[in-house]
Amino acid sequence: MALPKTQDREQTKSPNGPQPIRGDRGASIMGPRNVPLERENPDLLASPPTDAGTIPNLKFSFATARNRLTDGGWAREVTVRELPIATELAGVNMRLKPGGIRELHWHKAAEWAYMLAGRCRITAVDAQGRNFIDDVGVGDLWNFPAGIPHSIQGLEEGCEFLLVFDDGNFSENETFLLSDWLAHTPREVLAKNFGVPEAAFDNLASNPEWIFGGKVPGPLASDAVKSPAGTVPVTLSHHLLAQKPIKVAGGQVRIADSSNFTAAKTIAAGLIEIEPGGIRELHWHPNTDEWQYYISGQGRMTVFASSGKARTFDYQAGDVGYVPFAMGHYVENTGDETLRFLEMFRSPYFADISLNQWLALTPTELVQAHLNLDQNTMGALKKEKPIIAASRSTS
């Protein structure tokens, strides 16, 4: 029989580290071990008795991803190569120093972003020659559709952000870079294209710049470039924290999809905040897989894969979680601070199905026949309100 949850958690604080023991099941570790990693994954070390069967790994931490360093900052990624189950979306964690530039480039995949710290300036130009420029800060989003050229530059305090791409095979190391393209184009062609002498390109970088140091740009207005075609008709940035959150018992949520962030036609997201002791209720998503990024706090998630299969994972800040299409799950705050994380979907809209709501809206006798609950419990179930959830579907 499983130990009480609080006792399980106390195990992780033991000077000798946690042990793969629950009640009279399991035994202590006698061989080599990695105690810090075991402390971070107590529900893998000693799986709950409700876990069963084989489910692929649904966790990968940015802390264990290769970090590519440059004089302008760094970037690390979690793609299908790091987390094979994550075929729908890929993520990049990037840091730019003050003035640091993620050079002019474009992708085959759409780029969605969440600002974690600091501020940066973003620019883009669409296929009609309409341009866009904006400064974004903590909690802001941006979205660049596939094929649209853009840039990112750190402002006075520098910045760090999460990028999410609508292709699990995407790699930040394989983007279309301005410097890379020009370095692989004959000088006479460049001269003819731009109408200048070949010598004008004598100082072109021989290697791609990717992320490089630069001067902190001046005020936003000083960088504005007037286009004859005007500016993009749909803003490519969105102030998520300016949205009024949906407050529920145990936490709150903010949703950004194509209904309120028109540019984000391929990625929908929810910023979830769960208070200590709270839970993101049992639910599933009827439209696509879920890609998660944990911003702060600690949590655990059990994923139910049907056919008697379930597996529990623990998550901390900087971790990526994943839930394959239609699999049931919850996310529980197991720490003593607010758990904040992003749920992201390759979809134009956010949608979930609440177990609470499903049972509450199904005939009472039918539910009772399935679960064998007494009348008092059924009454409570019918009045149950989600502890932390958001259900919305827009077309």
Distance in angstroms (rounded) separating the CA atoms of residues 320 and 341 = 10
Compute the distance between CA of residue 185 and CA of residue 191 in angstroms, rounded to an integer.
10
CA distance 284 to 353: 5
DSSP string over 198-238: GGGGTT--SS--SEE--PPP--GGGG----TT-B-SS-SEE
Q: Collapsing DSSP states into helix, strand and coil, what is residue 83?
A: coil
Distances (CA, A) of 330 to 128, 144, 314, 386, 387: 44, 31, 12, 12, 11
343 is catalytic: yes
Please tell me the distance from the alpha carbon of residue 268 to that of residue 240, in angstroms, as a whole number.
Answer: 12
| Catalytic site residue from 38, 172, 273, 343 | 343
Q: How far apart are CA 102 and CA 204, in angstroms?
A: 17
Looking up tokens 């000693």 gives 46
Query: Cβ distance 324 to 288 under 8 Å?
Result: no
- 371 in helix, strand or coil? helix
The catalytic site residues sit at 343
